[in-house]
Structure 1
Amino acid sequence: MKIYWKKFDDEYVPNFINKKTRKNIADDIETSNLFNGKVPLYEKIIKLTKVCRIVKGGRKYRYLALVIVGDMCGSVGFGMAKANEAQDAVMKSGRCAQNNMIKVPLGRNKELISNGSGRYNSTKVLMWNNRNGIGIKASNVIRSIFDALGIKDASAKIIGSRNPHNVIKATFIALKGLSLRLKLWKCCY
């Protein structure tokens, strides 16, 4: 596994590149012994598209990036940004994702605390735990969110539209529901 350094907000943070793509990236990375106290961020580009705006002089092209960022210990965020260059769009959306990170309560072995579901527009996402050793069974978008959270064994099902924007927002609604459920449990018991 290679580690290369990428600049975020005047601070260098490692990104991980693995030549062989495996089913679950969370198994490959030991975050505890990389450096003193700073947690490296996992970054995954979900969608990078070229968008066009027609003006009087012709067409103007820009790039739209959708990025997932997480610390693999229960915090995850997503960001969208546009820029004139693809690399600038990815960096802008990465900063946006870092600013919008949410904390998700995880179980003892980095698992979901309960089953969850979320709905956004015409997309519905259902999530549940698997036995140890089975891995992640979900679409690529939800798999990258689980990898950013550090979850190793879970499944998810998408009902309705599979648009990445809607899937991410529905998944985040489901994850926020899990944190609300934990607050209610702590309050009542």
Structure 2
Amino acid sequence: MKVYWKKFNNEYIPKVVGKQPNKNMADDVGIDSSLDKRTPLYERIIKLTKVCRVVKGGRKYKYLALVVVGDMCGKVGFGIAKASEVQDAVIKSGHYAQKHMLGVPLGKNKRLIYNVEGKYNSTKVLMWNSREGIGIRAGSTIRSILDALGIRNAGAKIIGSRNPHNVIRAVFNALQGLCIRFRLWKYHC
């Protein structure tokens, strides 16, 4: 079996020659769709804020919750919700996150397939793999997303605004780009 390096989007990716025609090198990478009601989910509150609305009779206070939910096997989602009580806001945002989960293809040992970058407004996020035993070297917001995905060794850098709302959306843009690149790679190999 020979490995050739094929250039794709300014990066070299392996192309294996001398294998079975239907078997792909990326077949060990997959998205597990076995999410049901009994699966325990990782849930983390990223930001909890008290917001105020001024009306004619005075001020009305609500709570805004930003929550990340994942199954630690390649599915992750985030939700933002407001409610008059803290617990209600957390539950609402958790339900929204579960409904809108993103399946991310992971490599062996639950690692990122590529180095990825995502951008949202003035926030840019770079994520890459680290060698075994390093752990997650990232800010608390990105760390919680990578924990929810199940990734153990990775690094990340935030360039620009560190607002948690922007950071989460930039990370999810990067993960969606990773899914698209994986589909293209699987198609072309």
Q: Tell me the TM-score normalized by structure 2.
A: 0.80
One-letter identity of the residue aligned with 1:187: Y
Deviation, 1:129, is 0.1
Q: Which residue of 2 aligns with 1:145?
A: 145
Q: Which residue of 1 aligns with 2:68?
A: 68
CA deviation profile, 1:66-116 (whole Å, cap 9, x unmatched): 000000000000000000000000000000000110000001010000100
Deviation, 1:39, is 2.4
| C-alpha RMSD over aligned residues | 1.2
Is residue 2:184 matched to residue 1:181? no
CA deviation profile, 1:20-63 (whole Å, cap 9, x unmatched): xxxxxxxxxxxxxxxxx942100000000000000000000000
Q: Which residue of 2 aligns with 1:99?
A: 99
Q: Which residue of 1 aligns with 2:164?
A: 164
Following TM superposition, the consecutive aligned residue runs of length 4 or more in structure 1 with deviations greater than 6 angstroms are: none
One-letter identity of the residue aligned with 1:177: G
CA deviation profile, 1:149-175 (whole Å, cap 9, x unmatched): 000000000000000000000000000
Query: 1: CA distance between counterparts of 2:155 and 2:177?
Result: 17
Q: Which residue of 2 aligns with 1:22?
A: none
One-letter identity of the residue aligned with 1:176: Q
Query: 2: CA distance between counterparts of 1:75 and 1:159?
Result: 25
| Percent of residue pairs identical | 71
One-letter identity of the residue aligned with 2:109: N
Q: Which residue of 2 aligns with 1:123?
A: 123
Unaligned runs of 5+ in 2: 1-36
Query: 2: CA distance between counterparts of 1:157 and 1:116?
Result: 11
> SS of the counterpart of 2:39?
coil
One-letter identity of the residue aligned with 2:105: P
One-letter identity of the residue aligned with 1:113: I
Query: 2: CA distance between counterparts of 1:64 and 1:101?
Result: 20
> SS of the counterpart of 1:119?
strand
Query: 2: CA distance between counterparts of 1:165 and 1:99?
Result: 19
Q: Which residue of 1 aligns with 2:3?
A: none
One-letter identity of the residue aligned with 2:156: A
Is residue 2:88 matched to residue 1:85? no
Q: Tell me the TM-score normalized by structure 1.
A: 0.80
**Corresponding pairs, count:** 154
Deviation, 1:125, is 0.1
> SS of the counterpart of 1:183?
helix
